[in-house]
């Protein structure tokens, strides 16, 4: 049983709930709710020290998969550590890097569960430092832009299993074809970002002026009864999901005006990456001018009530 204490300040917006840390990637038979880890990252990115302390305790007291995920999601992609990281992190780093070859994350889970409280805290503190660096622009990380070569028969494709996590910013954008509902994708881990949207999702460049083409493989699924955004995904021809970009099962109604616009237009502009700390049009235009903005127009799919 977990008790949730109120955060010390007004709290920090955690966009993109509903993610789970996949236990299978780490040789564990259960998944862990990502929420405490996401809330910690939100507090860290917002620079709120009381909330960071509070959320760190929550993660340290929680499922070990959370620390494994927070640490591996940066250290797998980091070729070189800073000199001043803890001894625990220096020991964990080669294990994380090794997963790129072994494709088996169970050693990471075992290493973390063997740590005492000080070791866990050291590893978490170092991992958060690199999450901030990733948030600021990925410098020093080597993210693979292609999945593993076929034929390697991975037991568990851990690197590919670490999902690119995004938060969503909700907006509207005037276009020559009328106003369109918009969702801005905000990267929440190093696997998410420009390279992911460009290479894996194959989104074309978006200059914030010319509306990108409609790509009917991309769908924004909205539950009609609760007016809740359920998922953003690319589907195969037969309707099976191919790329899950975002999803939740938390009921959280969209703003009425946004829902009405999506219903009327039948499509939604997806664009990103946008930094979560600045969703202003000015910042977006600047990124677009530098060729760092990608976008696609997805179908808005209103799903009739299932329950
Ligand atoms: Zn706070």
Q: How far apart are CA 95 and CA 83, in angstroms?
A: 18
Checking if the pLDDT of 305 tops 60, the result is yes
Mean pLDDT of 110-117: 97
Indicate whether 222 and 275 sit together in one domain.
yes
CA of residue 135 to ligand 1 center, whole Å: 18
CA of residue 4 to ligand 1 center, whole Å: 15
pLDDT at 148: 34
Indicate whether 183 and 154 sit together in one domain.
no
87 domain residue, yes or no: yes
Mean pLDDT of 165-170: 85
Mean pLDDT of 202-211: 84
The partner residues of 198 in beta bridges, in order of sequence, read none
CA of residue 22 to ligand 1 center, whole Å: 28
Q: Contact at 8 Å (CB) between 188 and 277? A: no
Q: How far apart are CA 263 and CA 300, in angstroms?
A: 7
Q: Please, which pLDDT band fits residue 129 given cuts at 50, 70 and 90?
A: very high
Backbone angles phi, psi at 238, to 5 degrees: -90, 10
Indicate whether 24 and 147 sit together in one domain.
yes
Indicate whether 270 and 185 sit together in one domain.
yes
Instruction: Write down which residue in 118, 137, 159 finishes a domain.
Output: 159
The total number of structural domains in the chain stands at 2
Q: Contact at 8 Å (CB) between 23 and 65? A: yes
CA of residue 226 to ligand 1 center, whole Å: 30
Backbone angles phi, psi at 66, to 5 degrees: -65, -45
What is the share, in percent, of the chain residues with pLDDT greater than 90? 34
Higher pLDDT, 286 or 75: 75
Indicate whether 145 and 191 sit together in one domain.
no
11 domain residue, yes or no: no
Indicate whether 215 and 123 sit together in one domain.
no
pLDDT at 146: 34
Checking if the pLDDT of 286 tops 80, the result is no
Indicate whether 155 and 207 sit together in one domain.
no
CA of residue 7 to ligand 1 center, whole Å: 7
pLDDT at 100: 77
DSSP state of 266: S
pLDDT at 281: 65
1 domain residue, yes or no: no
pLDDT at 52: 94
Indicate whether 299 and 167 sit together in one domain.
yes
Q: Contact at 8 Å (CB) between 232 and 247? A: yes
Instruction: Write down which residue in 111, 136, 159 finishes a domain.
Output: 159
Mean pLDDT of 74-84: 86
CA of residue 179 to ligand 1 center, whole Å: 35
Contacts of 105 (CB under 8 A, 6+ apart): 25, 26, 27, 68, 72, 99, 156, 158
**pLDDT tens digit string along 255-282?**
888 999 999 999 999 999 887 666 666 6
Indicate whether 243 and 220 sit together in one domain.
yes
Q: How far apart are CA 168 and CA 200, in angstroms?
A: 18
154 domain residue, yes or no: yes
Instruction: Write down which residue in 129, 159, 189 finishes a domain.
Output: 159
Task: Enumerate residues with CB within 5 Å of ligand 1 (an ion).
Answer: 9, 48, 51
9 domain residue, yes or no: no
Indicate whether 53 and 141 sit together in one domain.
yes
pLDDT, mean over the chain: 81
7 domain residue, yes or no: no
116 domain residue, yes or no: yes
What is the share, in percent, of the chain residues with pLDDT greater than 70? 82
Cβ-based burial of 285 (10 A; exposed 0-12, middle 13-18, buried ≥19)? middle
Checking if the pLDDT of 147 tops 50, the result is no
Count CB atoms within 10 A of the CB of residue 228.
18
110 domain residue, yes or no: yes
The closest of 152, 156, 131 to 141, measured between CA atoms, is 131
Domain, as residue range, for 149: 20-159
Indicate whether 33 and 74 sit together in one domain.
yes
pLDDT at 266: 93
Q: Contact at 8 Å (CB) between 270 and 296? A: yes
SS3 222: strand
Q: How far apart are CA 207 and CA 269, in angstroms?
A: 13
Mean pLDDT of 228-257: 86
Q: How far apart are CA 139 and CA 133, in angstroms?
A: 7
**pLDDT tens digit string along 7-63?**
567 677 654 445 678 788 888 999 888 888 888 988 888 889 999 999 999 999 999
pLDDT at 271: 92
Indicate whether 285 and 225 sit together in one domain.
yes
């Amino acid at each position: 049983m977990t008790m949730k204490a109120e955060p010390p300040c007004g709290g920090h917006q955690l966009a993109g709930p509903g993610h789970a840390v996949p236990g299978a990637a780490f040789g564990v038979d259960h998944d862990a709710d990502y929420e405490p880890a996401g809330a910690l990252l939100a507090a860290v990115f917002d620079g709120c020290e009381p909330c960071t302390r509070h959320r760190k305790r929550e993660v340290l007291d929680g499922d070990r998969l959370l620390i494994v995920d927070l640490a591996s999601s940066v250290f797998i992609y980091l070729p070189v550590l800073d000199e001043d990281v803890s001894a625990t992190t220096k020991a964990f780093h080669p294990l994380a890097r090794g997963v790129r070859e072994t494709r088996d994350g169970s050693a990471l889970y075992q290493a973390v569960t063997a740590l005492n409280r000080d070791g866990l805290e050291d590893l978490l503190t170092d991992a958060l430092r690199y999450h901030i660096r990733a948030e600021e622009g990925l410098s020093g990380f080597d993210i693979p832009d292609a999945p593993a070569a076929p034929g390697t028969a991975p037991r568990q494709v851990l690197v590919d299993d670490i999902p690119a996590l995004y938060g969503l910013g909700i907006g509207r954008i005037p276009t020559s074809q009328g106003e369109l509902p918009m969702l801005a994708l905000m990267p929440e881990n190093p696997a998410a970002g420009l390279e992911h949207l460009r290479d894996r999702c194959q989104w074309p460049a978006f200059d914030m002026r010319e509306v990108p083409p409609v790509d009917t493989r991309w769908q924004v699924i909205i539950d009609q009864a609760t007016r809740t955004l359920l998922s953003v995904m690319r589907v195969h021809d037969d309707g099976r999901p191919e790329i899950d970009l975002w999803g939740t099962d938390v009921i959280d109604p969209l703003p009425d005006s946004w829902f009405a616009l999506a219903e009327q237009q039948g499509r939604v502009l997806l664009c990103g990456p946008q930094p979560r700390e600045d969703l202003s049009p000015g910042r977006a235009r600047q990124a677009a001018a530098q060729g760092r903005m990608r976008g696609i127009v997805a179908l808005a799919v209103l799903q009739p009530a299932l329950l």
